[in-house]
Amino acid sequence: MAPVTNARVLFAAVPKDFPIPGETTVHDTTQTIDLDNVPLNGGFLIKTLVLSIDPYMRGRMRSPEQKSYSPPYTIGAPILGYGVSLVLRSENPDVAAGKYVYGTVPHQEYNIMPDMQGLTLLEKHPKLPWTVFVGAAGMPGAYNGSFSASGVNELCFQERPRTLAGKNSRTQKRRSSDWHLYFRQLTWFFQGETAFITTGAGPVGSMVIQLAKRDGLKVIASAGSDEKVKFMKEIGADVAFNYKTTSTREVLEREGPVDIYWDNVGGEILEAALDNANLYGRFLECGMISGYNTGQKGIKNLNQMFAKSLTMYGILVFRLQPKYDKEFYEVIPSALASGELKYSEDVSRGLETVGDVILRVQEGRNTGKAVVIVAEE
């Protein structure tokens, strides 16, 4: 077969504020690939089926000098993101042609992967499309676990013993069963407590709302459109509001105080949550999208931390993933397929839409998990 186009999304320039399609990222169709004959060098060739567009990607669109938890994208190279791909050819004994892999890949129609690092094999689900496996049953959904009993509890701390292995630490004298107990109890929450969940219509927030309700909490949830508010009510939020048209402070003053705050936004809403926190409140810092494009607003009332004996946990899903992957895939896809857990998707078609979808996600104009279908199988 003659070479075919291997379209890609290149990182072209660091955005000044919001990422501009065609400037920050460029859809490039000049590259070709010979699918039958391209050398694999022991790796495997995959075809991109769906790509996930997520808020954190803005953080990778930066100058290489700036340090962060994820490496910066390289100017002139394809951007990277979570996706589901079909294996077309393989020289790797662990992954045969016809299998499906999930993980971070370059935004190209076809990729040659050297090995399975960062990738997971997925089984096709009879009732769920692949888009779900980059959303509610993918990385954002994995934050799910964060709110369940085996969740946040572990997020911050589970790797500490390993990180410190080799140091003369008190930890090493403890039995593993003690650690188990430790993790389980870390941010224990209580039936009857009140949770405030931001970006409640997104793939992370909407899962957190449902798990919080399952666990007997009163749920206050915010998002940026009336359509999103409607969805949050459908999935069980006791109080749902549009933060663009309703004062977050007023809602929290009336419906709070807040025992558990799930933060995906930062900024003024974080300040309102601090001022309306209950004594011994727990803040789960998962993201701060309000500042990703125009800079983080300074938080001026962190003195509430000691005034109210609050605890704030920074959580990052990929430090947890290796440990929970097995349980996650056993539990979550079937709960989504049965309708026990609900989800919402915002689907675009074609790799050429990626730049636009990235911008829409940063502006909060997506309703539900933003996914791009690049190709059918």
Give me the residues that bind a copy of itself (CB under 8 A), please.
68-69, 155-157, 159-160, 163-164, 167-171, 178, 181-182, 185-186, 188, 190-193, 216, 266, 270, 279-280, 285-288, 291, 295-316, 319
Output 93 or 306, the one with its CB closest to a copy of itself: 306
Q: How far is the CB of 38 from a copy of itself (least distance, A)?
A: 37
16 vs 180 by CB, closer to a copy of itself: 180
Residue whose CB is less far from a copy of itself, 146 or 353: 146
* CA nearest to 363, candidates 296, 294, 297: 294
Place of tokens 């997506």: 366
Please, what is the minimum distance in Å from the beta carbon of residue 59 to a copy of itself?
Answer: 8
Alpha-carbon torsion, ordered 77, 79, 83, 89, to 10 deg: 0
Q: Which is nearer to a copy of itself, 79 or 155 (CB)?
A: 155
Residue 96 vs 279, nearer CB to a copy of itself? 279
Please give the angle made by the CA atoms of 222, 223 and 229, to the nearest 5 degrees. Answer: 85
Q: Smaller CB distance to a copy of itself: residue 158 or 367? A: 158
C-alpha closest to that of 53 among 375, 376, 348: 348
Least separation, in Å, of the C-beta of 285 and a copy of itself? 4
- List the one residue out of 193, 251, 226 whose CA is nearest residue 367: 226
Question: Is the CB of residue 147 less than 8 Å from the CB of residue 208?
Answer: yes
SS3 string, 29-83, reads CCCEECCCCCCCCCCEEEEEEEEECCCCHHHHCCCCCCCCCCCCCCCCCECEEEE
CB 260 to a copy of itself: min, Å: 13
Let me know the angle formed at the C-alpha of 328 by 327 and 329, rounded to the nearest 5 degrees: 95
